[in-house]
Amino acid sequence: MTVTTETSPVEVGIGPVSIADVVAVARDGRAIRLTDESLAEIARSRTRIEALAADPNPVYGVSTGFGALATRHIPVELRVQLQRSLIRSHAAGSGPEVEREVVRAMMLLRLSTLATGRTGVRPEVATTYAGLLNAGIAPVIHEYGSLGCSGDLAPLAHAALALIGEGPVRTADGSLSTAAEAMAAHGLTPVILEEKEGLALINGTDGMLGMLSLAITDLDELLRLADISAAMSVEALLGTDAVFAADLQALRPQLGQAASASNIARMLADSPIVASHAGPEDTKVQDAYSLRCAPQVAGGARDTVDHARLIAGRELASAIDNPVVTPDGRVASNGNFHGAPVAYVLDFLAIVVADVASISERRTDRLLDKARNHGLPPFLADDPGVDSGLMIAQYTQASIVSELKRLANPASVDSIPSSAMQEDHVSMGWSAARKLRRAIDGLRRVVAIEILAAARGIDLRGPLLPGPGTGAVVAALRERVEGPGTDRFLAPDIEAAVELAESGALLRAAQAAVGILA
């Protein structure tokens, strides 16, 4: 990923950044710009910290140790070492590297808090941190290390380590380098941290919040794709579209349900397959729950995402540090670094991801079962018995759904005390975010396999044609995946469908046919 200046930079100032800003910087490589107003406020609050640094009375984070060691007063001559030692000792992560987009999201959000002027750092700390982002320098940050309380300490400490010119980083092209070398290549000078600054760089929920912002963005698209896959399965299974009527949905005024039902109805509009069995001659009284109740499940998931969006918006508007420099000049200890509000919604999203995947897998299983698929061949095979068709694709779905159910087990109910019992209750929000990322990847794969199966079912309904919406998705899939036929190496077909889902190509095809989905 390279930092792009093709569009205007994201402004980072006293006000909050948005979820869209986080995605633009994290995924699209957008540059950022600190506002003049922000730099002025940073400088103003720094004068308060410098006054307290000269005060003989100890002030936490300014002239004391940290956590359980906060009782020790640190003399002036040791305070640079204090801040440097804090960063080095807290950069204690372990395990695989986390994704570049997570690193950039986390760094942007820490910078956003610095930009509020509530942390007491010098302006050069914020401008150099911004310089790392704009240079495309991504500190190496590891999977394990954060308890989601006192901030995402270890991950943020690894980022701060790069700011002082230490530790490994990835350059814009993904190459491994030292922080000192990468900074020198971009004309950046490592920062020598002064009072309070090391603490200000690590005391935030920025890692888990960054991952929440990315997850919300992913789920906004994935839940539309789940509506598309549901519509395709309804069509392939000769289901009815009558249950998705707006007046029926209005009897239960759940907003997400209404949006999902509307999407499915639009995808099925003007479908010759649906029309072929509509009317009094259709002996089916009602479809199975996995078809009929698709809007209730996907809609409930949408409402949960909207709740998560509300919490994320509040967190994006927060200035999280401890101690914090208040607008009236006080330097006050607080507990705002506790990740509970973010951790809860991360866990909640993992639950709905598992359930949306579960109902998708049930529709796929129905498509493959000759006893329930209304005339389609067993497993949608070309020559059943000789060919296995998509039998094992459903196994793949089932294995993923089983994993998603395990990932739905909440991380936020766990707490392991740390720092000699000073930090005796933690949120595990980082862990909740990490498992949600894995769950979202699983949901995308499950829905892609449903689309693969439903598209084959629709093709096998020929000479009847699908509706404009579902037909457009089938056509987009067929650009990468062949239609029904004898068995072939199936894994590449699945991966092609996953890639089309991830790139947004399938959603774009649907929306080109029926308009923007809710």
HSE (side-chain half, CA atoms, 13 Å) at 370: 8
Residue 183 CB contacts under 8 Å (≥ 6 apart), including other chains: 132, 135, 137, 162, 165, 189, 190
Q: At what angle do helices 123-134 and 100-115 cross, to 10 degrees?
A: 150
For residue 443, CA distances in Å to 357, 360, 409, 496 come to 5, 9, 16, 15
End-to-end CA distance of the chain: 31
For residue 178, CA distances in Å to 129, 163, 172, 183, 260 come to 16, 11, 13, 9, 49
Cis amide prior to 323 (ω within 30 degrees): yes
Q: Would you call 129 a catalytic residue per the annotation?
A: no
Alpha carbons 197 and 194: distance in angstroms, whole number: 6
Alpha carbons 358 and 365: distance in angstroms, whole number: 11
Q: Are the beta carbons of 350 and 406 closer than 8 angstroms?
A: no
**Number of DSSP helices (H) and strands (E) in the chain, helices first:** 20, 9
Q: Are the beta carbons of 426 and 149 closer than 8 angstroms?
A: yes
Locus of tokens 């695989």: 96
Q: At what angle do helices 468-478 and 491-503 cross, to 10 degrees?
A: 120
Q: Answer left, alpha or beta for residue 31, where phi above 0 means left and psi between -120 and 50 means alpha.
A: beta
From 60, 129, 289, 395, active-site residue: 60
Q: Which sequence positions are flagged as catalytic?
A: 60
